[in-house]
Homo-oligomer: A and B are copies of this chain.
Amino acid sequence: MTTKNMEPGARGRPRAFDLDQAVERAMLLFHSRGYDAVGVAELGTELGIKPPSLYAAFGSKAGLFERALRRYAEGEANLFARARAGGGTVAEVLQRTLLEAARSYPERGGVAGCLVLDGARNSADPQARALALAAKAAARAAMRDVIAAEAPERAEDLADFMATAMAGMSAEARDGAGPERLLRFAELAGAAVRRELGDLSSAR
């Protein structure tokens, strides 16, 4: 039936579905409605997998969420990595990160905000909450380290500021905010960051 993702020394019956594609679809579902609001039954039908296959492949619903989170954080959704790839000073990179958030957080195809920041919010499952918090901590640490290279004494505080600003934009986007509203916030927040980094060109 399928020979897509078969490793050389694979024994036993081969998997009948595409693992990466399943993780991708699960990621979209978790992102659009949050961890708890997506049940394994729906995951099964939407991924074309039945419960036993899902549990054989991912261990648990939380295991699938972990895979989805990893895929999310390592892909295009890593706004800081994208902004960083554009080069420039730390101030420019942070400003671009905020603007990227303002452009990508608003609802598109039923998906809004950040999966890491809001995907497990209010979840009744401590494991899911812990996974999202860990991913968030990793993202914050990446920002802190980059900031520290240029302004070590401000790295922690600025990373916190960025985390809070992005959490605000993610929440607003989930509540229906469009790009214009978020962009205005991103510009004000970005100006505050530049000022904090001593970039005086931020004076309007």
Contact = CB atoms under 8 A, between A and B. Distances in A.
A161 B174 contact: no
B188 A121 contact: no
A33 B182 CA distance: 27
A198 to B, nearest CB: 11
User: Which applies to chain A's interface (DSSP): helix, strand, loop or mixed?
Assistant: helix
A195 B169 CA distance: 21
Q: Which of A33, A122, A160, A176 has the most CB of B within 10 A?
A: A122
A74 interface: no
B160 A181 contact: yes
Interface stretch (A6-14, A34-42, A55-63, A145-153): A34-42
Number of copies: 2
Interface in A155-201: 157, 160-161, 163-172, 174-177, 181-182, 184-185, 188-189, 191-192, 195-196
Nearest to A137: B175
Given A33-B122, A164-B172, A189-B192, 6 more contacts: A118-B171, A161-B185, A164-B168, A167-B171, A189-B189, A195-B204
30 contacts: A34-B121, A36-B36, A36-B37, A37-B124, A117-B171, A118-B121, A118-B171, A119-B122, A122-B122, A122-B123, A136-B175, A160-B177, A160-B181, A160-B184, A161-B184, A164-B165, A164-B169, A164-B171, A164-B177, A164-B181, A164-B185, A165-B168, A167-B175, A168-B168, A170-B171, A189-B189, A191-B192, A191-B195, A192-B192, A195-B204
